């Protein structure tokens, strides 16, 4: 995963700061909850701090692995394979009011079933490969950190392929459509650079860099992926006139606001945005 202990610490701090920023930046409780999905990214990075501290020096555990290493390696298994489900749920709940959410039900069901299979594979007796136990080790010229999980990869294969397919599917129905491009660009860029410059053992670092780039994207360019209602959140928070401040004339008048709560105002703004986009298409 990440290159070393220092990188894991720095990325953990950056990701936690991003989550806190996303939480306080949004005005309505519903929009704030979306920041919680990124905890699935932060927990992996945070766990790797302890994995780097406890990683066996020889790079081979041979049945001997610090208990802290075993614990956090096990936790990364459940969190990592939960990420596609988290992405699907994020897209489902953040979809604007008038869009047909039934399109997401199938991808959420597939992601849930995929996660269930991983849990079953982990706890079944034949999930263990010989005497191998959960342990994170380093190998390769760059001594990159790798998770070694005890579950049987041959029984449930190809899991990495499923991971990325299930993560991409919901963005095909998400609006605005450019969200898919913004989601794939960081991953494809880091993967291409890693493939051309480094050896195969460095490939897991692609996840680390991609996760950080996606979080940074949500901070620097929120209007591209997030709901249009964010454009007026600070205006409402400061009790100013939305009609004169909301971009693209996606406005809700003061008289309308008096009869709506924060989430209802969000729905109204996003619905008008969706109607305008449908007409332009």
The pLDDT value recorded for residue 41 is: 84
Question: Which tokens is 72 given?
Answer: 């956090």
102 vs 183: which has the higher pLDDT: 102
CA-CA-CA-CA torsion sign (62, 68, 71, 77): negative
The pLDDT value recorded for residue 200 is: 59
Q: What are 36-67's pLDDT values in tens digits? A: 778 888 898 898 899 889 887 654 555 578 88
Share of residues in the chain with pLDDT > 90 (%):
0
Per-residue confidence band for 246, with pLDDT thresholds at 50, 70 and 90: very low
Q: What is the mean pLDDT of residues 236-246?
A: 43
Q: What are 123-173's pLDDT values in tens digits? A: 775 444 444 578 887 766 667 777 777 755 544 455 666 777 777 777 777
Per-residue confidence band for 250, with pLDDT thresholds at 50, 70 and 90: very low
Query: Per residue, what are the HEC states of the chain?
Result: CCCCHHHHHHHHHHHHHHHHHHHHHCCCHHHHHHHHHHHHHHHHHHHHHHHHHHCCCCCCCCCCCCHHHHHHHHHHHHHHCCHHHHHHHHHHHHCCCCCCCHHHHHHHHHHHHHHHHHHHHHHCHHHCCCCCCCEEEEECCCCEEEEECCCCCCCCCCHHHHHHHHHHHHHHCCCCCCHHHHHHHHHHHHHHHHHHHCCHHHCCHHHHHHHHHHHHHHHHCHHHHCCHHHHHHHHHHCCCCHHHHCHHHCCCCHHHHCCCCHHHHHHHHHHHHHHHHHHHC
Per-residue confidence band for 191, with pLDDT thresholds at 50, 70 and 90: low
- In sequence order, the 6+-apart residues with CB closer than 8 A to the CB of 61 are 69, 133, 135, 137, 148
Q: What are 202-235's pLDDT values in tens digits? A: 666 666 766 777 777 667 655 444 454 444 444 4
Residues linked to residue 139 through DSSP beta bridges, in sequence order: 144
Q: How many CB atoms lie within 10 A of CB 279?
A: 7
């Amino acid at each position: 995963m990440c290159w070393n202990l220092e990188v894991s610490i720095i990325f953990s701090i950056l990701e936690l700061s991003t989550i806190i920023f996303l939480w306080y930046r949004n005005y309505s409780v519903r929009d704030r909850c979306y920041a919680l999905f990124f905890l699935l990214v932060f927990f992996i990075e945070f766990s790797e701090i302890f994995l780097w501290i406890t990683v066996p020096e020889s790079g081979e555990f041979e049945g001997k692995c610090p208990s802290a290493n075993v614990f956090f390696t096990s936790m990364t298994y459940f969190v990592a394979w939960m990420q596609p489900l988290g992405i699907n749920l994020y897209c489902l709940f953040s979809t604007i009011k008038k869009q047909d959410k039934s399109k997401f039900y199938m991808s959420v069901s597939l992601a849930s079933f995929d996660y269930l299979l991983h849990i079953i594979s982990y706890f079944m007796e034949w999930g263990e490969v010989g005497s191998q136990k959960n342990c994170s080790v380093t190998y390769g010229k760059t001594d990159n950190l790798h998770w070694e999980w005890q579950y049987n990869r041959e029984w449930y294969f190809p899991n990495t392929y499923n991971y990325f397919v299930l993560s991409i599917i919901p963005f095909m129905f998400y609006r605005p459509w450019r969200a898919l491009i913004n989601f794939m660009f960081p991953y494809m860029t880091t993967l291409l650079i890693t493939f051309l410059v480094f050896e195969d053992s460095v490939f897991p670092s692609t996840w680390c860099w991609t996760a950080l780039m996606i979080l940074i994207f949500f901070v620097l360019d929120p209007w591209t992926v997030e709901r249009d209602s964010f454009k007026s959140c600070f205006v409402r928070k400061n009790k100013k006139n939305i009609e004169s401040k909301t971009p693209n004339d996606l406005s809700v008048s003061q008289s309308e606001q008096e009869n709506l709560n924060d989430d209802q105002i969000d729905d109204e703004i996003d619905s008008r945005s969706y109607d305008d986009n449908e007409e332009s298409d």
